[in-house]
Structure formats: structure tokens, C-alpha cells
């Protein structure tokens, strides 16, 4: 190695070290709230009152987790968060499934079964992605009341399907845009119709974008608070609304350890989804970007 290349090599290592230091700093700052919640969720209430919320627990206990799950005071009855966790599952699974399927179908039609005005339709659906939540509250409440779904889990499913359809259509439309038209034409020549082409050719090759769409929809729907607070009644409340009620409705002693445990329980499903399939999410986004 020549003497002239040594300063460049040293400066490159220094720049990389600075970059890693900044990234580590940002990661610590981002993960600090999660650390505080986890550490204090396994402490006794007396230990939390003693201060120093950043310290590790001296008396490790899972009692706050059990209380938050099964016996915390959410409303009138001390039911814990478990019934509302089930409500969220009953809301998220069908909403994600339906919105993903309809998005794939829309992307298929808008790219492979073109019709006059298809660009206008796609533009309107794309515009729907930028409509703030607050604007649709009153119209959606009137619609849910008119069709008899106000205050039900089915009503929340409908709300999230409608609001998420613009995003799922965008994902699949961009992914299918560069799918070879020759394969679609060959399928038509072999006698394959609309549904057969969709289910036998398009869907089997849509794995990466399906993963992206499912993660996106699951995260947005599970973490939603506004729609749940606006359109659900007490029996159909999702997890996020119940968590807010847990913190707000606590009377007398504030059980901060139970509140922290409840917050972690509410965030756990999305954390698991990202830990398990986060790398597939990045791959799917890159595939969509290349194909789009």
C-alpha cells in the first residue's frame, strides 16, 4: 500500500466509525422508551415510586403483566386487556385479508385488464391515500349507522378495508405494472379467463408484495386509535382504546407497572410481525420499486 493511499484509508475508517456512532445513538434514542416500559413493567410499584426508572428491577415480578391481561380495571368490570386483544384480532385478520385481496384484484385490473378511464380511477384511489382520518369520521359514522354496523367489530372491519384500499391498490398496481404482458396473453390464448389468470399466474408470483401489504395493513389497523374510539362501543373496543381506558380510568393508586405492561402487550403483535418478517418487508419494497 502506497503512502498516499494510507490517509484516504484512515479517513474512510474514521468516517465509517462516525457514521456507526450516529446510527447507534439514534437506535438507543429510539429504543429507550421500549426499554423503560419493559424494565418498569416487571418492577413492583414501590420500587417505581423510589425513582430511577432507568434502573434494572431489584424484585423481578410478572404480576403487573398478569394484572394487565386478566384483572385490570378497564371500565365497569375488572376484565383486563384480554377481551379487547381478541376484539383486535377479530378486527385485524379479516380487514387485512379483505383489503389485501381487493388491492391485488384492483392492481390486476388496472394493469392487465385496462379500460377507458382506468388512469382516472387509479388517480382517485391514490388521492384517497392522502385524505386525513378526521375528514371521513362523520360520513363514515352516517354510513355505518345506515347499514346497521355502528358500534360493531364488522363496522370497524369495513372502515379499515375502505380506508386501506387505496394503499393496497397502489402497492399491487406498481408491482404488477412490469409483470410480462406476454404471459397474460398466452394464458388468454390457452383459454384462461379473468379469474383463472389472476389465481394461477398473478397471485402465485405476488409473494413479496403480499408480505409488504400485510405488514403495512396489520401495523396501521392494529395501532389505530381514532377509528376505534369513534366507531366502536364497549363490547367491540380494540386493544388501543382499551389501553387508553386502562390508563385514564384508574382510580386511587396509579399502577404504573400495570400501565407499562399493558402498553407492551398492546405493542407486542406489531413487534413480533416486524421481527419475524421485517427482512421480507424490505425485499418486497425493493421488488415493488424495481417492478414499478
Q: What percent of the chain has pLDDT over 70?
A: 92
Percentage above 90 pLDDT, the chain: 48
Band of pLDDT at residue 101, cut at 50, 70 and 90: very high
pLDDT at 102 over 60: yes
Contact yes or no for 265/246 (Cβ under 8 A): no
Distance between CA atoms of residues 78 and 178, nearest Å: 54
Q: Is the pLDDT of residue 47 over 80?
A: yes
Query: What pLDDT, on the 0 to 100 scale, is given for residue 292?
Result: 43
pTM: 0.85
Q: Please state, in angstroms and rounded to a whole number, the distance separating the CA atoms of residues 205 and 107.
A: 13
**Per-residue pLDDT tens over the stretch 148-185:** 999 999 999 999 999 999 999 999 998 998 788 888 88
Three-state secondary structure call for residue 16: helix
What is the overall mean pLDDT for the chain? 87
Give me the residues paired with residue 232 across strands. 151
Ordered domains of the chain (ranges, CATH): 13-61 (no CATH), 82-289 (1.10.3720.10)
Mean pLDDT of 14-42: 92
Where is average pLDDT lowest: 126-135, 231-240, 260-269? 126-135
- Check pLDDT > 70 for residue 246: yes
Residue-wise pLDDT tens digits, 198-220:
888 888 888 889 989 999 999 99
Confidence at residue 13, expressed as pLDDT on a 0 to 100 scale: 83
CA atoms within 13 A on the CB side of 83: 16
Q: Are 225 and 240 in contact (CB under 8 A)?
A: yes
pLDDT at 57 over 90: no
Work out the pLDDT band at 8, boundaries 50, 70, 90: low
In angstroms, the CA 20 to CA 17 distance is 5
Give residue 291's pLDDT: 46
pLDDT at 251: 62
| CA gap 88, 156 in Å, rounded | 10
Cα–Cα distance for residue pair 209/284, rounded to 1 Å: 5
Angle formed by the axes of helices 256-291 and 239-249, nearest 10°: 150
Amino acid at each position: 500500500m502506497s503512502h498516499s493511499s494510507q490517509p484516504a484509508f484512515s479517513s474512510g475508517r474514521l468516517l465509517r466509525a462516525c457514521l456507526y456512532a450516529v446510527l447507534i445513538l439514534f437506535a438507543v434514542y429510539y429504543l429507550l422508551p421500549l426499554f423503560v416500559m419493559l424494565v418498569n413493567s416487571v418492577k413492583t410499584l414501590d420500587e417505581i415510586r423510589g425513582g430511577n426508572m432507568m434502573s434494572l428491577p431489584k424484585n423481578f415480578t410478572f404480576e403487573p403483566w398478569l394484572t394487565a391481561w386478566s384483572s385490570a380495571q378497564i371500565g365497569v368490570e375488572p376484565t383486563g386487556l384480554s377481551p379487547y386483544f381478541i376484539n383486535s384480532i377479530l378486527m385485524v385478520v379479516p380487514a387485512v385479508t379483505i383489503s389485501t385481496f381487493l388491492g391485488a384484484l384492483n392492481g390486476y385490473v388496472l394493469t392487465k385488464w385496462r379500460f377507458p378511464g382506468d388512469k382516472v380511477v387509479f388517480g382517485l384511489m391514490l388521492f384517497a391515500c392522502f385524505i386525513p382520518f378526521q375528514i371521513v369520521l362523520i360520513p363514515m359514522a352516517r354510513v355505518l349507522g345506515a347499514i346497521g354496523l355502528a358500534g360493531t367489530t364488522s363496522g370497524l372491519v369495513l372502515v379499515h378495508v375502505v380506508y386501506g384500499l387505496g394503499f393496497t391498490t397502489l402497492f399491487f398496481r406498481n408491482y404488477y405494472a412490469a409483470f410480462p404482458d406476454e404471459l397474460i396473453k398466452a394464458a388468454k390464448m390457452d383459454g384462461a379467463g379473468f379469474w383463472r389468470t389472476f389465481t394461477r399466474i398473478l397471485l402465485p408470483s405476488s409473494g413479496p408484495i403480499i408480505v409488504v401489504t400485510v405488514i403495512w395493513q396489520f401495523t396501521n389497523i392494529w395501532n389505530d386509535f381514532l377509528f376505534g374510539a369513534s366507531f366502536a362501543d364497549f363490547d367491540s373496543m380494540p386493544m388501543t382504546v382499551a389501553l387508553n381506558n386502562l390508563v385514564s380510568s384508574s382510580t386511587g393508586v396509579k399502577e404504573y407497572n400495570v400501565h407499562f405492561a399493558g402498553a407492551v402487550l398492546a405493542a407486542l403483535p406489531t413487534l413480533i410481525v416486524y421481527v419475524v418478517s421485517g427482512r421480507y418487508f424490505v425485499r418486497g419494497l425493493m421488488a415493488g420499486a424495481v417492478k414499478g
